[in-house]
């Protein structure tokens, strides 16, 4: 079975030595993992650090959407740090220390856990935003920070429970010559586990989230278009109301854009996972080298997705930009500036 980080850091099942890795895979790993990944990670860590600083500012608290975005920043930073470390660590490298092998074995499922949480937090705040836009009165009751904290905790427990089996998939063994390497455990090689858990994993963290996000995003886009037509009918005396609605719909547009970028970055992984599943289900030979090359590129897209949210927030949200100015420039806020909702 393949998981989100497998293609990035492994020849887990392979016994070929580090020096015999195909040149095409080695070149891809060098370009992606040694050049592009550090660059994107640096941008992402900087952006997410600024996100956390802004979203935890007192002026930004009290809004459930901001809390979900804060959680997204935490898991995105975790994902970026772990994938950066894994890009320099490979189980096929027998010259590394035993602690490096243990790091690979446990960092791999932790990275998947962070990615899975990000997936479902994206689903949750998309559903919440749809409720807030389509049913504003109910949204004021349901979409609170307290409920957001409870839902985030439940999301974490849900993702942890469904990712937990991955912590038992690999083990470290010692060869006759004294070298260490990683290999799959007997538990993970069981055909029932490979078929059952893999399909469950794909369904829970790929198929269902993508379907929900596609449907909710389509409904949000439709709502945005309807709201735009309604704003055009407002008379000049409704200028203040029009301004508030415009800001709120900019926030909705920002979340729609976040989801669209998320889907574009995740769909290549979905395609690769389904392709690998199809080959496995029909006992067809797998082009392992090509899958690993594609996996490196797909991982890069996921890392890019985890790095761009700060720039989206800054572009779309006037409130976000003003909070940055408040923190770094000590500027005063516009008294007419409405709360992000």
CA distance linking residue 127 with residue 252, whole number of Å: 11
Residues paired with residue 182 on neighbouring β-strands, in sequence order: 172
In the predicted structure, residue 118 carries a pLDDT above the cut 80: yes
197 within 8 A of 277, measured Cβ to Cβ: no
Q: Global pTM?
A: 0.80
- Write the DSSP assignment of 239-280 as a string of letters: HHHHHHHHHHHHHHHHHHHHHHHHHHHHHHHHHHHHHHHHHH
Residue 40: pLDDT band (50, 70, 90) is very high
302 within 8 A of 266, measured Cβ to Cβ: yes
The separation between CA 251 and the C-alpha centre of its own chain, rounded to angstroms, equals 20
Q: Which of 46-60, 100-114, 183-197, 218-232 has the lowest mean pLDDT?
A: 218-232
Exposure of 269 by Cβ count < 10 A (0-12 exposed, 13-18 middle, 19+ buried)? buried
Residue 255: pLDDT band (50, 70, 90) is confident
Indicate the average pLDDT of the chain. 79
Answer with the residue of higher pLDDT: 239 or 325. 325
CA distance linking residue 301 with residue 7, whole number of Å: 13
Burial annotation 71-109 (CB, 10 A radius, 16+ → b, else e): bbbbbbbbbbbbbbbbbebbbbbeebeeebbebbbebbb
Tokens 């409870």 -> residue: 150
> CATH assignment of 6-329?
1.20.1070.10
Query: What mean pLDDT comes out for the span 11-38?
Result: 69
CA distance linking residue 46 with residue 259, whole number of Å: 21
| CA-atom Rg of the chain in angstroms | 22
Residue 334: pLDDT band (50, 70, 90) is very low
**pLDDT tens, residue by residue, 293-312:** 888 898 889 889 888 887 88
SS (H, E, C) 7-51: HHHCCCCCCCCHHHCCHHHHHHHHHHHHHHHHHHHHHHHHHHHHH
DSSP secondary structure letter of residue 337: P
Phi-psi region of 184 (alpha: psi -120 to 50; beta: other; left: phi over 0): beta
Query: Is residue 184 helix, strand or coil?
Result: strand
Residue 241: pLDDT band (50, 70, 90) is low
């Amino acid at each position: 079975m393949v998981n989100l980080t497998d293609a990035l850091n492994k020849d887990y099942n392979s016994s070929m030595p580090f020096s015999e890795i195909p040149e095409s895979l080695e070149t891809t790993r060098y370009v992606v993992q040694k050049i592009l990944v550090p660059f994107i990670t640096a941008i992402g860590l900087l952006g997410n650090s600024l996100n956390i600083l802004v979203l935890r500012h007192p002026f930004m608290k009290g809004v459930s959407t901001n809390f979900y975005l804060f959680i997204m920043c935490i898991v995105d930073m975790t994902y970026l740090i772990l994938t950066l470390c894994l890009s320099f660590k490979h189980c096929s490298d027998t010259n590394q220390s035993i602690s490096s092998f243990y790091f690979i074995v446990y960092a791999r499922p932790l990275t998947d856990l962070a990615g899975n949480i990000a997936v479902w937090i994206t689903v949750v705040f998309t559903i919440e935003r749809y409720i807030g836009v389509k049913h504003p009165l109910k949204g004021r009751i349901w979409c609170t920070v307290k409920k957001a904290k409870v839902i985030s905790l439940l999301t974490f427990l849900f993702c942890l429970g469904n990712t937990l089996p991955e912590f038992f998939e690999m083990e470290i063994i010692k060869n006759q010559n004294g070298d260490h390497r990683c290999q799959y455990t007997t538990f993970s090689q069981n055909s029932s586990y490979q078929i059952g858990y893999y399909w469950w994993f794909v369904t829970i963290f790929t198929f269902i989230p993508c379907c929900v996000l596609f449907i909710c995003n389509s409904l949000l886009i439709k709502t945005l278009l309807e709201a735009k037509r309604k704003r055009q009918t407002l008379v000049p005396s409704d200028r203040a109301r029009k301004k508030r609605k415009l800001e709120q719909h900019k926030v909705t547009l920002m979340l729609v854009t976040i989801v669209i970028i998320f889907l574009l970055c995740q769909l290549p992984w979905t395609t690769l996972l389904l392709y690998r599943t199809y080959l496995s289900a029909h006992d067809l030979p797998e082009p392992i080298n090509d899958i690993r090359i594609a996996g490196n590129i797909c991982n890069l897209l996921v890392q890019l997705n985890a790095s761009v949210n700060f720039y989206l927030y800054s572009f779309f949200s006037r409130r976000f930009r003003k909070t940055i100015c408040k923190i770094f420039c000590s500027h005063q806020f516009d008294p007419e500036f409405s709360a992000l909702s």
